[in-house]
Amino acid sequence: EVRLMESGGGLVQAGGSLRLSCAASGFTVDDYVIGWFRQAPGKEREGVACINRDAGRTFFANSVLGRFTIESDSARNVVYLQMNRLRPEDTAVYYCAATRDSSTYYPIELYYNYWGQGTQVTVSS
- pLDDT, one tens digit per residue, over 9-36 is 999 999 999 999 999 999 999 999 999 9
Residue 58, pLDDT score: 97
Segment 79-95 mean pLDDT:
98
- What is the predicted pLDDT for the residue at 12? 98
H helix intervals, 27-67: none
- Identify each DSSP E strand in 1-125 by its residue range: 3-7, 10-13, 18-25, 33-39, 46-52, 57-60, 68-73, 78-83, 92-99, 114-115, 119-124
Mean pLDDT of the chain: 97
Distances (CA, A) of 72 to 9, 38, 43, 115: 18, 19, 28, 17
One-letter amino acid for residue 70 of the chain: I
Strand partners, 119: 94
The Cα–Cα gap between 117 and 97 comes to 10
